[in-house]
């Protein structure tokens, strides 16, 4: 079988790709229509076929649609040229989209084994091709149910006004949008607004009620506006649009020959406002949820902590005398390392100047810091609501747990947004960060806690007796400050005998699980 077929449908040249199993089966396939002649799929075909054959992406028919003039056919209305030496924009996009919907697609559906329904039909393009794909969702949602917008040219004159005045896209669509932080930064024309306009359209879509489970926003701070960046995003766009488990959480495929903890799942999730990608590890109890729902433990440094916590909960919650079952959620990163240094320094700290930190061992430079609030926003605004949709959760029994820097951000969350969780567990917390800034924060926050009544959180502090003296001293001092200024605050402090900064983790698991489920 020839992988590619050059066709002429009406007056339009197209490049057709049929997937590996097409001539071996009688199956019908989803179809994706790709602008600019399909270079996005021809440039990564070997990788796409790997995704097909490994089960990471359903096999697709790809149709590359040629154009004689992008500036005419990929724009929604006419506009003047951007510079005296460039050409203007013809605004013939509606006719182009209708031609694909009413001429090209019917021909492909008649002559090839397709799944004609809109929810099995996609349209993807880059730059102006991303812009016109987005308009296809407004004009023809009856035909194109999946839209791939790679570095879309939302800077185009009048687009933001159009979005603000519209009722929004059909909520049954599925949309993938990618954007690079360096797009347009060297332009002198309106194209310099690429990043702002892209983020603004995304914000407006969310504000207008487009379901976030149907929307992926892929942000690359180093991404530029060129074919390389768009082609790199194309396979992921197909996965997010056509995978059988859509939404904010996407499954991470594991080697089935490896050991797997029963009842666990691993997902990837992208933060809306930062574009940072996280691994979300979930352990669901065997027992059905109680009427109030499962208690939940959110564990930071999920790469290091999740496996031990999941196995311990699976064992200790066995009846008839076990502890109540709880949902274990680990928040980690795309890494094989247990502790992902750069990312955790960013997510688990408030910003600190060099003069506010001790000299780092070896004299090396401290990593980027200061992302604690963005990280906690991700937990609050995306992760918790998504888990609440998937599982029956007891919203009155949610615990945040972190170790070391994770302990710092756990206590920071307790002091700055205490109602986010009902219980906070900090192991060997880095109280020293930013000249002991937690002491200052508590002076400000502690004044409101005595009046909080039943809404006051419960706090568990744990250290090992073999840790640095300063680590133990800081934890004791923090505990004293918490209880002295707020005697009714439920604070429990424990020191685990013969355990150091790392070895304290497995030693505290039973105590932590009792704290979570009591």
User: In a 3-state reduction of DSSP, which class is residue 296?
Assistant: strand
Which is catalytic among the residues 404, 428, 430, 499?
404
Q: Is 467 a catalytic residue?
A: yes
Q: What is the pLDDT of residue 257?
A: 59
Q: What does the pLDDT read at residue 248?
A: 44
Tokens, residue 174:
């599925």
pLDDT digits (tens, 9 = 90+) for 303-332: 999 999 999 999 999 877 889 999 999 999
Is the pTM higher than 0.75? The answer reads no
Q: Is the peptide bond before 320 cis (omega within 30 degrees of 0)?
A: yes
Rounded distance between C-alpha atoms, residue 447 and residue 439, angstroms: 13
DSSP result, 414-456: HHH-GGG-SEEEEES--TTHHHHHHHHHHHHHGGGGGG-GGGP
Cα 381 from Cα 248, distance rounded (Å) = 12
Residue spans of the chain under pLDDT 70: 1-2, 244-258, 450-455
Q: Which of 83, 94, 85, 87 is nearest to 191 (CA)?
A: 83
**pLDDT (0 to 100) of residue 1:** 46
pLDDT score, position 246: 37
pLDDT digits (tens, 9 = 90+) for 51-83: 898 888 889 999 999 999 999 999 999 999 999
- Rounded to an integer, what distance in angstroms lies between the CA atom of residue 170 and that of residue 425? 43
Q: Given 28, 243, 273, 501, which residue is catalytic?
A: 501
> Who contacts 257 (Cβ-Cβ below 8 Å, separation ≥6)?
none
The one catalytic residue in 73, 99, 236, 467 is 467
Give the pLDDT confidence score for residue 388 in this predicted structure: 87
* Contact yes or no for 289/317 (Cβ under 8 A): no
CB atoms inside a 10 Å sphere around CB 269: 19
Starting at the earlier edge strand, list the strands of the sheet with 61-65.
4-9, 12-17, 61-65, 31-34, 121-126, 146-150, 174-180, 215-220
Coil vs helix vs strand at 220: strand
- Minimal CA–CA distance to 96: which of 46, 51, 36? 36
């Amino acid at each position: 079988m020839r992988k590619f077929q050059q066709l002429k449908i009406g007056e339009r040249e197209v490049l057709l790709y049929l997937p590996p199993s097409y001539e071996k089966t009688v199956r019908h396939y989803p179809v994706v229509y790709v602008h600019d002649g399909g270079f996005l799929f021809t440039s990564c075909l070997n990788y796409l076929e790997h995704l097909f054959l490994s089960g990471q992406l359903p096999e697709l028919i790809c149709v590359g649609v040629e154009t004689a003039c992008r500036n005419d056919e990929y724009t929604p209305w006419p506009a003047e040229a951007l510079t005296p030496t460039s050409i203007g924009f013809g605004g013939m996009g509606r006719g182009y989209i209708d031609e694909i919907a009413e001429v090209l697609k019917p021909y492909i559906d008649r002559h090839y084994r397709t799944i004609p329904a809109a929810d099995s039909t996609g349209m993807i393009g880059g730059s102006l091709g991303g812009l016109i794909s987005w308009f296809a969702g407004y004009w023809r949602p009856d035909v194109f149910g999946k839209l791939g917008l790679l570095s879309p040219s939302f800077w185009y004159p009048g687009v933001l006004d159009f979005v603000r005045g519209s009722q929004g896209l059909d909520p049954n669509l599925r949309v993938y949008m990618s954007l690079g932080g360096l797009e347009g930064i060297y332009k002198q024309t309106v194209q310099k607004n690429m990043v702002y306009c892209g983020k603004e359209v995304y914000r407006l879509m969310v504000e207008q009620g487009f379901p976030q489970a149907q929307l992926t926003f892929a942000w690359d701070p180093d991404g530029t506006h060129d074919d390389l960046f768009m082609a790199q995003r194309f396979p992921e766009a197909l996965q997010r649009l056509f995978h059988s488990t859509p939404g904010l959480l996407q499954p991470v495929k594991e080697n089935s020959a490896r050991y797997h903890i029963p009842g666990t799942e691993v997902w990837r999730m992208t933060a809306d406002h930062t574009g940072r990608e996280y691994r979300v590890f979930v352990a669901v109890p065997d027992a059905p949820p109680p009427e109030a729902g499962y208690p939940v433990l959110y564990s930071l440094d999920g790469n290091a902590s999740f496996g031990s916590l999941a196995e311990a909960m699976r064992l200790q919650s066995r009846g008839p005398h076990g502890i109540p079952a709880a949902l274990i959620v680990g928040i980690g990163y795309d890494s094989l390392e247990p502790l992902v240094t750069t990312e955790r320094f960013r997510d688990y700290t408030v910003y600190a100047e060099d003069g506010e930190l001790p000299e780092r061992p070896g004299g090396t430079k401290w990593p980027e810091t200061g992302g604690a609030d963005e990280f906690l926003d991700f937990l609050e605004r995306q992760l918790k609501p998504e888990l609440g949709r998937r599982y029956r959760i007891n919203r009155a029994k949610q615990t945040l747990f972190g170790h070391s820097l994770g302990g710092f951000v756990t206590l920071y969350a307790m002091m700055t947004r205490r109602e986010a969780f009902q219980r906070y567990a900090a192991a060997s917390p880095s109280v020293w960060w930013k000249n002991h800034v937690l002491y200052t924060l508590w002076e400000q926050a502690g004044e409101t806690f005595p009046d909080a009544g039943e809404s006051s959180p419960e706090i568990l502090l744990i250290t090992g007796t073999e840790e640095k003296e300063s680590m133990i001293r800081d934890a004791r001092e923090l505990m004293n400050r918490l209880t002295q200024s707020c005697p009714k605050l439920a604070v429990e402090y424990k020191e685990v005998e013969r355990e150091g900064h790392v070895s304290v983790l497995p030693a505290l698991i039973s105590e932590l699980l009792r704290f979570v489920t009591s």
